[in-house]
Structure 1
Amino acid sequence: MCGASQPHGPADRIYRPEPSVAPDAGLKRNRQPLETRTVMQTHVRPATAFDVAGIFHVRTSVTENVLTVAELTDMGITEASITEMINASTCAWVAVENGQIVGFSMIDPDEGSLFAAFVLPSHEGRGIGKALVRFAEDALFQSHANIWLETGKTTRAAGFYRRLGWGDEQDLGAGDIRLVKQRAWQQQGSQGADHHIPPTRNR
């Protein structure tokens, strides 16, 4: 069950999206008039039970570490079990854009682990995953000096976590690894309020 305590400290961290430039962006840059470009505003907040359907939509839409609803159910991961976890305390965060959940992260605060962080393929490369992981890390570091996760050794996810400072790799066999991250300083909490990722423009 989730039991992460609410952190203390300023809650004004700004998350800036990673630049995402298509190979031919220079050719397309001026094709669409500025006034017709759509500005997308994304923010991250603690998840509620009303977000569970959106969380499952994201989880079953990814292109890596793919699992169906039936496969998740066989693992004991159901909408009911996730709802129970979220209702117990703050242990999940969602990224929301125009009313749609486009990413989420979840932790097991008792075990000190990050066990889920996913973003819709259409929203990758914008810093959303990094923001979601940061929320999860901040919560875990409230009660653990060392936190861990498990993922596939050769996956894109493994490279993503390594770039965020996760390391001390342990081989678990069957192509899986465990990564660890140490608390380097007293973390300033952030999950108690909404946080906005600066808008990006769809061209």
Structure 2
Amino acid sequence: MLIREANIADIGQIQVVRNAVKENTLSDPNLVTDEDCRVFITERGKGWVCELKDQIVGFSIADLEENNIWALFVQPAFDNRGIGRLLHDVMVDWYFTKTKQTVWLGTAPGTRAESFYRKAGWKEVGVHGKGEIKFEMTFEDWLNSAR
């Protein structure tokens, strides 16, 4: 298993992973374009992928412009192997080397993602978008989290 920075050539496989998930699905896969991915991994922030045998099985993307976790997804067939946590940790570590601003994300309530973020030390702070739970992580919380 290899965790590495995402690049433009990865976008096709990133989209495959994004559209394969069973929770936090897109109502319309065309809502997140290849160009959106390019901008987020090359201009607004950075992304990482997890590769197994030359196949991308998970990815994460942080957005420095909005102080947001834009994406963290793992192929369903590769759930429960620690991939999500590895991608999460490298992304949040990088984020806090670039800024000490609180980072936020939104996820659907009642999902495994909600439980994942709570276990990773994120704090629920309200509602975002169409009923998503809004979580935040401060720099201090990250330093004190159990990693």
TM over 0.5: yes
Task: Pick the aligned partner of 2:86 from 106, 112, 131.
Answer: 131
Which stretches of structure 1, 4 residues or more, deviate above 6 A after TM superposition? none
- Tell me, what secondary structure is at the counterpart of 1:114? strand
Which of the pair has more CA radius of gyration? 1
One-letter amino acid of the counterpart of residue 25, structure 2 = V
TM-score, length of structure 2 as denominator length: 0.86
Cα distance in 1 for partners of 2:89, 2:59 equals 11
Whether the 8 Å contact between 2:67 and 2:102 is mirrored in structure 1 is yes
Q: Which residue of 2 aligns with 1:100?
A: 55
Counterpart Cα distance in 1 of 2:84 and 2:129: 26
C-alpha deviation, 1:90, in angstroms? 5.5
Task: Name the structure 1 match of 2:120.
Answer: 164
Report the equivalent of 1:48: 7
AA matched with 1:72: P
Alignment counterpart, residue 67 of structure 1, candidates 14, 17, 26: 26
1:199 alignment partner in structure 2: none
Instruction: Give secondary structure in 1 for the equivalent of 2:42.
Output: helix
Q: Residue 183 of structure 1: which of 109, 114, 139 is its match?
A: 139
Residue 173 (structure 1) shift: 7.0
Which amino acid counterpart does residue 180 of structure 1 have in structure 2?
E
Greater fraction helix? 2
Q: What is the TM-score when the length of structure 1 is the normalising length?
A: 0.64
SS state at 1:178 partner: strand
In the TM superposition, what is the alpha-carbon distance from 1:80 to its structure 2 partner? 2.3
Aligned length: 142
Q: CA RMSD in A?
A: 2.1
Aligned residue number for residue 4 of structure 1: none
Segment drifting more, 83-92 vs 155-164? 83-92
Q: Which structure has more RCO (C-alpha within 8 Å, separation ≥ 6)?
A: 1
- List gaps (5 residues or longer) in structure 2: none
Matched residue of 2:10: which SS?
Answer: helix
8 A Cα contact 2:121 2:141, kept in partner:
no
- In structure 1, give the amino acid aligned to 2:22: T
Report the identity percentage.
33
Q: Quote the offset at 1:88 in angstroms.
A: 3.1
For 1:88 and 1:182, how far apart are their aligned partners in 2? 23
Q: 1:116 aligns with which of 56, 59, 71?
A: 71
Residue 61 of structure 1: CA displacement? 0.6
Task: Indicate conservation of the 8 Å contact 2:41/2:61, yes or no.
Answer: no
Instruction: Give the secondary structure class of the aligned counterpart of 1:161.
Output: helix
> Which of 81, 99, 102 is equivalent to 1:146?
102
